[in-house]
């Protein structure tokens, strides 16, 4: 099932991007160790590499990935920040995922 593989790859990619941004945030805003920048940079490098694994055009991948990123960011809000998503967060995430599915899985002529 290529759709599940694509979605799984997007999920892993989103976590890598969020971790890569969250660790520098902790250093900048929460006065945590500067050493968090190293795993943050590695996580962002992993993020870029993961995006390159998709077999379709880069622009399409970036556009569709944004929908999954939104959903994972809302889950991060709940799991890491301890803030329960509102119904509007959930609805917005659903709309974003629908957009991702349309962009990535719509039939295309060759």
Q: Is residue 14 part of a domain?
A: yes
Tokens 């629908």 found at: 98
In a domain, 77, yes or no: yes
Report the alpha-carbon distance of residue 96 to residue 67 in Å, rounded.
4
Show the domain range for 45: 2-105
45 in any annotated domain: yes
CB-CB contact of 51 with 30 (8 Å): no
38 falls within a domain: yes
- Residue 68 in any domain: the answer is yes
- Along the chain (110 residues), what's the average pLDDT of each consecutive run of 10 residues? 84 95 96 96 96 83 90 96 97 95 84
pLDDT of amino acid 32: 95
Residue 98 within a domain? yes
Split into its structural domains, the chain has a count of: 1
User: Does residue 110 fall inside a structural domain?
Assistant: no
pLDDT at 110: 64
Number of H helices, E strands in the chain: 4, 0
Please give the pLDDT value at position 21: 96
């Amino acid at each position: 099932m290529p759709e599940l593989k694509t979605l799984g790859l997007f999920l892993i990619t989103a976590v890598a991007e969020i971790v890569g941004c969250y660790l520098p945030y902790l250093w900048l805003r929460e006065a945590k160790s500067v050493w968090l920048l190293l795993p943050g940079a590695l996580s962002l490098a992993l993020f870029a590499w993961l995006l390159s694994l998709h077999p379709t055009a880069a622009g399409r991948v970036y556009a569709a990935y944004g929908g999954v990123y939104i959903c994972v960011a809302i889950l991060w809000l709940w799991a890491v920040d301890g803030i329960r998503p509102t119904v509007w967060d959930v609805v917005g995430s659903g709309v974003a995922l629908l957009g991702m599915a349309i962009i990535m899985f719509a039939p295309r002529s060759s």
